[in-house]
Amino acid sequence: MTALRERMIADLRIRNYSPRTIACYTERVAAFARHFGKSPTELGPEHIRAYQMVLVETKHASWTLFNQTVCALRFLYATTLQRPGVIEQIPFPRQPKRLPVVLSRAEVARFFAAVPNLKHRTVLMTMYAAGLRLSEALGLRLSDVDGERQCLRVAQGKGQKDRYTILAPGLLEQLRTYWRLTRPRTWLFPGRPLEQPLTASAIQRCCAPAARRAKLAKRVSTHTMRHCFATHLLEAGTDLRTIQQLLGHGRLDTTAVYLHVASAREGRLRTTDLLAGTASAPTG
């Protein structure tokens, strides 16, 4: 590990950035340095601009990766290298505004029924019924499930914030079935070894095949479950502020995007149990 990388990691840790963000930023900076075959200390605004053009025109990078690169380089030059003048010349792109893909309740039920692995299916059901990000669902411990108070504790979610979200009867029943058959100990969804949580890739890989088996025309990812949670609650008449708190959004306008995709079917869903009434899925 180079001295510059060590210093950047230390700067990120001092500011309480999450391990995931630290890994992301250091990889983005490393890719920038590899492209030119030089240390970032020898590079400046003209190199950053040239690299941005490579990301857009040659690598056809996603806007997420592009913005991660910009954020990483801004931190490196402004904080670690103490060259704030450089970041003034690192533009953020205007991202295309796209509405999230949302499944109907019937499509959600078909999707779950097409996921044969019990653990994978239960992770996705938890994301849908509680509005969790994939990393939040995989980070759940048995102690985070509070059946008495009907809530789930999300420890150190995005932005390193703790929050509580709903644990509906339908999800609690699914979790109890899952627990009886798998007997997890510490992590609710353990991986291999059992002392570590399940990896995100294991869940991400199962979505596309399940969508094909369910004959869904829409592109389904793990994050689709969270989009469905928010949209279905809005369609049920749940107020936007409550949904914002359940999702753990820092800004209300982030949650407001679901106003554009929610239909006018107000009051047809139970706001506390999105799994209620869905088609039964295999338990094995």
Surface-to-core class of residue 224, CB atoms within 10 Å of its CB (0-12 exposed, 13-18 middle, 19+ buried): buried
For the stretch 208-244, pLDDT in tens is 999 999 999 999 999 999 999 999 999 888 999 999 9
261 in helix, strand or coil? coil
The answer as to CATH 1.10.12.10 being correct for domain 3-87 is no
For the stretch 102-130, pLDDT in tens is 999 999 999 999 999 999 999 999 999 99
All residues at 6 or more sequence positions from 57 whose CB lies less than 8 Å from its CB, including other chains: none
**Contact indicator for 12, 19 with CB cutoff of 8 Å:** no
Q: How distant, in Å, are the alpha carbons of 66, 203, 207, 215 from that of 219?
A: 22, 15, 9, 11
CATH 1.10.150.130 intervals, the chain:
3-87
Which helix or strand (DSSP H or E) is residue 153 part of?
strand 151-154
Q: For residues 178 and 122, what is the distance between their CA atoms, to the nearest angstrom?
A: 7
Q: What are phi and psi of 209, to 5 degrees?
A: -60, -40
pTM above 0.75, yes or no: no
Here the tokens at position 168 are 């509906």
Instruction: List the catalytic residues.
Output: 133, 158, 223, 226, 249, 258
CATH 1.10.443.10 intervals, the chain:
105-260
Amino acid at 53: M
Q: What is the pLDDT along the chain (284 residues), one digit of tens a residue?
A: 689 999 999 999 999 888 889 999 999 999 999 999 999 999 998 999 999 999 989 999 888 899 899 999 999 999 999 998 877 767 666 666 778 889 999 999 999 999 999 999 999 999 999 999 999 999 999 999 999 999 999 987 666 678 999 999 999 999 999 999 999 999 999 998 888 999 999 999 999 999 999 999 999 999 999 999 999 999 888 999 999 999 998 888 888 888 877 764 544 444 557 887 564 445 45
Q: What's the CATH architecture for 105-260? A: Orthogonal Bundle (1.10)
Instruction: Kindly give the residue spans of alpha helices, DSSP state H, lying in the chain.
Output: 3-14, 19-36, 45-53, 63-75, 84-87, 105-113, 118-130, 134-138, 169-182, 200-213, 222-235, 240-247, 252-255
Could you give the dihedral angle defined by the CA atoms of residues 272, 276, 277 and 281, in that order, rounded to the nearest 10 degrees?
140
